[in-house]
């Protein structure tokens, strides 16, 4: 059967690359990208629609027009922006999800992907190798909305048989599209600033370890989860997943292997520090390994080399 795929929120860091990967896999015309505004990196390859996920009427029209077999819902407000606009973050992250889940039942969508985040963990969760199941007391509106979203996804699976699949993404590092409004964004900004000016003023402290994942691994993992036979999936809330954990100081050391003059300084009192301090240092993703063969390929030095090689072209 031909897949018809709709990506909602396709202009962002993950959507941009997921769209390319899905179009390569299923054909450009089979993948509809959509977002609240036109893409900054125009992609003339396949259909694109302007969609506000909170506008149920136009969402309905989108589902009627394309009758998707798979939906990827990526529209969300991330942790740092969410703290500036808590009411809007809750609205977008929760009501956007509910709109898509309800329409997916109505239109018999076969599979839905919805990203959760390490932000579902909080100050009382175990910090190191945080397990799939533990105390979860997120204290950002983003984390609270993601945890509520996970519970709703599992509920729709149990109650309506909706095949929703999800990953708790750590920080995603990539060079094509910029991340927006996250706490882990420093690990992308640092590469741009290193190449532009040999200096980066980091908003997190030197010893703040966070779990991260390279975009190539994130895309491969997402597609692997979506391809996995339903019977193999023991988790219908969201899978823990990780690539590598490191601190800003360690990343700066890696960058200095290529740019010896690079200097990092640290801004104190940034509100994102408190968010990072409430999150795990590292993640245990045993369940993803066991259920659908998860295995990251990029370590920190490979990420650093790949980021610098690709971004060098941009700043040449
Ligand atoms: C953020 O920093 O808000 C995101 C995330 C870890 O979900 N990158």
Give residue-wise pLDDT tens across range 235-248: 999 999 999 999 99
Instruction: State if residue 10 touches ligand 1 by the CB under 6 angstroms criterion.
Output: no
Ligand 1, pocket-test mutation among 147, 185, 188, 276, most atoms within 8 A of CB: 185
Ligand 1 atom having least distance to the Cα of 117: 7
Above 0.95 for ipTM, yes or no? yes
Instruction: State if residue 79 touches ligand 1 by the CB under 6 angstroms criterion.
Output: yes
- Residue nearest ligand 1's atom 7 by CA: 117
Question: For the segment 209-226, what is each residue's pLDDT rounded down to a tens digit?
Answer: 999 999 999 999 999 999
Torsion of CA 118, 120, 122, 125, to 10 degrees: -80
Question: For the segment 172-210, what is each residue's pLDDT rounded down to a tens digit?
Answer: 999 999 998 999 999 999 999 999 999 999 999 999 999
Chain-centre distance for alpha carbon 9: 11
Q: Report the DSSP pairing between strands 244-246 and 210-214.
A: antiparallel
Instruction: State if residue 140 touches ligand 1 by the CB under 6 angstroms criterion.
Output: no
C-alpha–C-alpha distance, residues 84 and 36, integer Å: 20
Instruction: State if residue 12 touches ligand 1 by the CB under 6 angstroms criterion.
Output: no
Ligand 1 atom having least distance to the Cα of 179: 8
C-alpha–C-alpha distance, residues 60 and 64, integer Å: 6
Please say if the pLDDT value at position 40 is more than 80. no
Give the tokens for residue 148: 């509520």
Clarify whether 142 is annotated catalytic. yes
Please say if the pLDDT value at position 43 is more than 90. no
pTM: 0.97
């Amino acid at each position: 059967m031909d897949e018809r795929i709709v990506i909602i929120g396709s202009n962002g860091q993950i959507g941009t690359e997921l769209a390319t990967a899905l179009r390569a896999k299923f054909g450009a015309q089979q993948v509809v990208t959509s977002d609240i505004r036109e893409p900054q990196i125009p992609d003339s390859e396949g259909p694109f629609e302007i969609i506000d996920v909170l506008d149920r009427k136009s969402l309905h029209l989108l589902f009627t027009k394309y009758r998707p077999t798979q939906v990827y819902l990526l529209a969300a407000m991330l942790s740092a922006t969410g703290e500036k606009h808590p009411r809007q973050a809750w609205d977008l992250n929760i009501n956007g999800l509910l709109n898509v889940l309800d329409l997916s039942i109505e239109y018999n969508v076969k599979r839905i992907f919805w990203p959760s985040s390490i932000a579902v963990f909080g100050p009382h969760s175990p910090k190191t190798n945080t397990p799939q199941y533990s105390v979860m007391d997120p204290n950002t509106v983003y984390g609270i909305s993601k945890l509520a979203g996970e519970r709703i996804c599992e509920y729709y699976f149990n109650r309506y048989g909706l095949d929703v699949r999800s990953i708790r993404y750590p920080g995603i590092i990539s060079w094509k599209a910029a991340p927006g409004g996250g706490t882990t964004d420093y690990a992308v900004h640092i590469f741009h600033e290193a190449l532009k000016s040999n200096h980066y003023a980091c908003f997190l402290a030197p010893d703040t370890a966070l779990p991260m994942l390279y975009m190539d691994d994130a895309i491969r993992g997402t597609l692997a989860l979506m391809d996995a036979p339903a019977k193999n999936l023991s988790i219908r809330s969201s899978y823990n997943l990780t690539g590598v954990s490191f601190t800003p100081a360690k990343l700066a050391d890696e960058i200095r292997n290529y740019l010896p003059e690079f200097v990092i300084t640290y801004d104190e009192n940034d509100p994102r520090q408190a968010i990072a301090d409430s999150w795990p240092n590292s993640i245990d993703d045993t369940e993803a390994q066991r259920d659908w063969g998860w295995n990251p390929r990029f370590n920190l030095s490979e990420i650093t080399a790949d980021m610098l090689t690709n971004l060098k072209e941009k700043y040449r």
